[in-house]
Amino acid sequence: MPALPWVERQRIDPEREYVAMASHLPLKAYRFVPGFLRDTTRIRGQLAHTPGLVGYALNAQLIRKTFWTFSVWDDRDSLNTFSASDPHSRIIRRLAPRMNQTHFAFFAISGSELPMTWDQMTAPVRPQTGRNDEKQQAR
């Protein structure tokens, strides 16, 4: 599956600062990939109607059972509201035992830096780099 390109949900102000979230989501087994893809479709549907979302992208490396996400938000409250809402919240709880160690990074980003390349979007959560002071490891 090729990477889904950057989807811009609102006009980006190059003078404004936004909140970005990058994630690295490795699955434990190939048998979990089809369900993850179905869940991705549900979450993308939720994103289509989520206030405060600036844009997002998804890269699925199926052979590696690994997914990368990148999203940009007006503010942290918008991101937190989305994360706590269903179907996202319910899906994340169900997926937790199916995941290897996940990595998340939250950081400020200027509108002038958007859109980014996949190398730029995933750099904060690449396990081998250990970058970003705000990196959070989950489960």
Q: What is the DSSP string of 29-97?
A: -GGGHHHHHHHHHHHHHHHTT-TTEEEEEEEEEGGGTEEEEEEEESSHHHHHHHHHSTTHHHHHHHHGG
DSSP state of 128: T
Rounded to an integer, the average pLDDT of 2-21 is 94
- pTM, full prediction: 0.88
Q: How far lies 89's CA from each of 62, 81, 94, 108, 113, in Å?
A: 23, 10, 9, 23, 29
Rounded to an integer, the average pLDDT of 1-22 is 92
Q: How far lies 67's CA from each of 8, 51, 61, in Å?
A: 20, 24, 6
**Per-residue pLDDT, 101:** 96
Sheet holding 136-138, edge to edge: 4-8, 53-61, 66-73, 17-26, 102-110, 136-138
Tell me: pLDDT of 139 over 80.
no
pLDDT in tens, 75-102: 999 999 999 999 999 999 999 999 999 9
**Per-residue pLDDT, 127:** 81
Task: Assign a CATH topology to domain 4-138.
Answer: Alpha-Beta Plaits (3.30.70)
**Per-residue pLDDT, 128:** 63
> Residue length, the chain?
139
**Per-residue pLDDT, 2:** 65
